[in-house]
Amino acid sequence: MTDGNTLKRITLFAIPCIIGNALQNLYNILDSVIVGKSDDISALAAVGATGSLITLFLNTVTGLMTGFAVTVGKRYGAKDAEGVKKAYANALLLTFGIAVLISVLGAVFSNEMLKMMNMPGDIIDSASHYLRIIFIGMIFSVLYNFFCEMLRAVGNSRMPLVFLLISSLIHIILLPIFLFVFSMGVVGAALSTVLSQFCAVVFCYIYIRVKYHQFRISADIFKPEKAVMMECLKIGIPMAVTSFVVMFGGIILSFVTNGIGTAYVAAYTCASRVGYIVTTPIFGFATALAVFTAQNVGSGNLARIKEGIKKTFAAVTAVNILLFVAFWFAAEPLMNFMLGEGEVIAVEAAKTYLLTRCGAMFTLTFAAGFKNVLNSMGRTVFPTISGFIEIGVRYLIPLTLSGILGFYCVPLTDAVSWTVLAVFLTVAYFIEIRKMERNVQRNEE
């Protein structure tokens, strides 16, 4: 990442991330379709209604681990092998403790959280069973994401994709067996997810330990060091807070959707999962920019960072145009397939959500990209503030317009929040990069 053609380096890193994110969302869609076919739209809604809660916890922890990866990436870029080893060991200790805590609290309070989200009464029991199992197994999801972040920190985005493919294959095999052979319903869907994540974390751990000497930690290294932990948390906590605040906006939208009815819960489930696939290029390149920026900050090359950002945004915008045109024609038939042609209300709502999300992804490119860049530069204040701005927008629009627009305030909220963040974070980036450039000039003088 610190030499060679910038766009080529970033793209080669981003492609496995994009494919991995797309596959992960594809098997989430497969969950929805198979669960819906094995039962009815209520079962689909029960699985989908838990999505925002699961994403809230998992993405918050992943934000923390991304901060840990930035710390490792900086030391790797500075060729500090011993520093990489210590940062990895202490980050693993933190991650394991947090994973256990979330698994326990989530499993104990799953039903209470669903009630607070205004869950429709006809699906709350099924949703609670599904959510409790997912939380029990979340320790595997957290550890898997941690190992993947560590691999990306040292420039390896290919093997996380391989492990995701293995996990997805196991999930695809187990899901129909649990649903159609054993008739386990939403419980079977949850078990297939947990077991596939368990396999992924085992394979990932074995690979990372064998392949990278920096991650072979001995007893004298594998112990808490306050200074190293604080360094990891200094970047990790703001990124985790940002992720939490952003994902909490999804909780608010789920609360609105749950209050409207089961058909709209199903519509939001299907359209949002397809929408995540549409935006995977954005988040894949944003992940690549985070690693690219961290390593080049470590090597002191600000000019390369600026060049990489400019070329990346141009490439992602071109991809966004192609995707927007494709889904303009594909949205309605796709939603008919997922929800059923007889579900007219749900299909129309899902189509509107998906097309609005596709239109807003042009501003999401700048919001997601600059947020990761700023965090990797160590300038975490603006990304943290942006999270609170986003939750303010995501709270204000449903509060003021849900009575008028109903479900349609949900896609509007996404579009407005991404646009506001894009403007704020773009300005923040130019402020911070100029500060860093001035600091370099003063040091040279």
Does 444 map to a domain?
no
Read off the amino acid at residue 224.
P
Does 246 map to a domain?
yes
Residues 50-81 as b/e (b if ≥16 CB within 10 A, e otherwise) read: bbbbbbbbbbbbbbbbbbbbbbbbbbbbbebe
Give the span between the Cα atoms of 198 and 167, in whole angstroms: 8
Q: Helix 51-77 vs helix 280-298: angle between axes, to the nearest 10 degrees? A: 30
58 lies in which domain range? Answer: 6-439
Number of domains in the chain: 1
Does 216 map to a domain?
yes
Give the span between the Cα atoms of 40 and 34, in whole angstroms: 10
Give the span between the Cα atoms of 7 and 279, in whole angstroms: 19
Does 202 map to a domain?
yes
User: pLDDT digit of tens for each residue in the chain (445 aa)?
Assistant: 667 788 888 988 888 878 877 776 776 666 666 655 555 556 666 666 676 777 778 878 888 888 888 888 878 877 787 888 888 888 888 888 888 998 898 888 888 887 777 666 666 777 788 888 888 988 998 998 899 888 888 878 788 878 888 888 888 788 778 877 777 777 787 888 889 889 888 988 889 888 887 787 666 556 777 888 888 888 788 778 767 776 776 677 677 776 667 777 777 777 877 887 888 889 889 988 888 888 887 777 788 888 889 999 999 999 999 999 998 888 888 888 777 766 777 788 888 888 888 888 899 999 999 988 898 888 878 888 887 888 788 778 877 887 777 778 888 888 898 999 999 999 999 998 888 888 877 776 5
Does 91 map to a domain?
yes
- Quote the pLDDT of residue 423: 94
Spatial CA neighbour of 363 closest among 443, 421, 278, 288: 421
- In the block, tokens 């600091």 appear at 439
Does 445 map to a domain?
no
Does 222 map to a domain?
yes
What tokens does 396 get? 């204000």
160-194 confidence digits (pLDDT tens): 878 888 888 888 788 778 877 777 777 787 888 88
Does 1 map to a domain?
no
Spatial CA neighbour of 94 closest among 59, 74, 64: 64
- For residue 214, the 8-state DSSP code is G
SS3 207: helix
Spatial CB neighbours of 236, under 8 Å, sequence gap ≥ 6: 63, 64, 65, 66, 67, 68, 71, 94
Read off the amino acid at residue 165.
L
CB 370 within 8 A of CB 425: yes
CB 306 within 8 A of CB 436: no
284-340 confidence digits (pLDDT tens): 899 888 888 888 877 777 888 888 899 999 999 999 999 999 988 888 888 887 777
